[in-house]
Structure 1
Amino acid sequence: MHTILGQIFALITAACWAQNSIVYSEAGKRVGSRTVTHVRLWIALPAMLLVHVIFLGRFFPTGFQFSVYLYLLSSGFLGFFIADLLIFKAFVDLGPRETLVIMTLSPIFAALSSWLALGETLRLLQITGIGATVGGVVWVILEEGARGRGAKSRETSKKRAGTLSALGGALTEALGMMLAKAGLVSGLPPVSGNLLRLIAGLAGLIIYALLRGSFARDFAAMKDRTALKLITSGAMVGPVLGIVLSLYALSWSPVGIVTALMQTSPILLLPLDHYWFKKVITPGAIAGTLLAVGGTVLLFIV
Structure 2
Amino acid sequence: MGEIAAILTAVCWSFTSIFFNNASRAIGSVRVNRLRLLVATAILLLAHWIFLGTPIPTQASGERWLWLGLSGIIGLALGDAFLFQAYVHIGARLTTIIMALDPVVSTLIAWLWLGEQLTLMEVFGILFTVFGVGWVVMEQRNGQTGHSRRDLLLGILCGGGAVLGQAIGFVLSKKGLENGFSPLSGVLIRIVIATLVMWLLALLSGKIRDTWEGLYNKEARNNILAGALVGPSLGVWLSMVSVQMIPVGIASTLMATRPVMLLPLSKWFYNEKISIRSIIGTLIALIGVTLIFLVG
Q: State the alpha-carbon separation in 2 of the partners of residues 169 and 263 from structure 1.
A: 13
What is aligned with 2:141? 147
1:264 corresponds to 2:257: yes
Q: State the alpha-carbon separation in 2 of the partners of residues 250 and 149 from structure 1.
A: 40
What is aligned with 1:138? 134
1:43 corresponds to 2:39: yes
Identity %, equivalent residues: 38
Alignment deviations for residues 94-135 of structure 1 (CA, whole Å, 9 cap, x no partner): 111000000011111111111111111100110110111111
C-alpha contact 1:13 1:246 (8 A) present in aligned 2: yes
Structure 1 vs Structure 2 CA RMSD: 1.2
C-alpha contact 2:174 2:243 (8 A) present in aligned 1: yes
1:185 corresponds to 2:178: yes
Deviation at 1:298, TM superposition (A): 0.5
Which deviates more from structure 2 when the two are superposed, residues 280-289 or residues 7-16? 280-289
Structure 2 length as normaliser, TM-score? 0.97
Q: State the alpha-carbon separation in 2 of the partners of residues 156 and 226 from structure 1.
A: 35
C-alpha contact 2:74 2:168 (8 A) present in aligned 1: yes
1:77 corresponds to 2:73: yes
Amino acid at match of 1:153: G
Q: State the alpha-carbon separation in 2 of the partners of residues 281 and 63 from structure 1.
A: 49
What is aligned with 1:288? 281
C-alpha contact 2:15 2:265 (8 A) present in aligned 1: no
1:203 corresponds to 2:196: yes
Deviation at 1:276, TM superposition (A): 4.4
What is aligned with 2:94? 98
C-alpha contact 1:133 1:264 (8 A) present in aligned 2: yes
Deviation at 1:66, TM superposition (A): 2.3
C-alpha contact 1:20 1:234 (8 A) present in aligned 2: yes
- From the superposition, tell whether residues 275 and 203 of structure 1 become closer, same or farther in structure 2 (CA, over 3 Å): closer
C-alpha contact 1:97 1:141 (8 A) present in aligned 2: yes
Equivalences for residues 151-162 of structure 1 within 5 A? 152-162=145-155
Q: State the alpha-carbon separation in 2 of the partners of residues 108 and 7 from structure 1.
A: 17
C-alpha contact 2:129 2:284 (8 A) present in aligned 1: yes
Q: State the alpha-carbon separation in 1 of the partners of residues 263 and 39 from structure 2.
A: 29
C-alpha contact 1:91 1:99 (8 A) present in aligned 2: yes
Amino acid at match of 1:147: R
**Correspondent of 1:245 among 234, 238, 242:** 238
C-alpha contact 2:75 2:169 (8 A) present in aligned 1: yes
Deviation at 1:78, TM superposition (A): 1.2
Q: State the alpha-carbon separation in 2 of the partners of residues 169 and 295 from structure 1.
A: 24
Amino acid at match of 2:61: Q
Deviation at 1:155, TM superposition (A): 1.6
Residue correspondences, number: 295
Q: State the alpha-carbon separation in 2 of the partners of residues 17 and 64 from structure 1.
A: 27
C-alpha contact 2:97 2:137 (8 A) present in aligned 1: yes
**Correspondent of 1:17 among 5, 8, 13:** 13
Q: State the alpha-carbon separation in 1 of the partners of residues 33 and 82 from structure 2.
A: 12
Alignment deviations for residues 122-156 of structure 1 (CA, whole Å, 9 cap, x no partner): 0011011011111101100112xx12243x42221
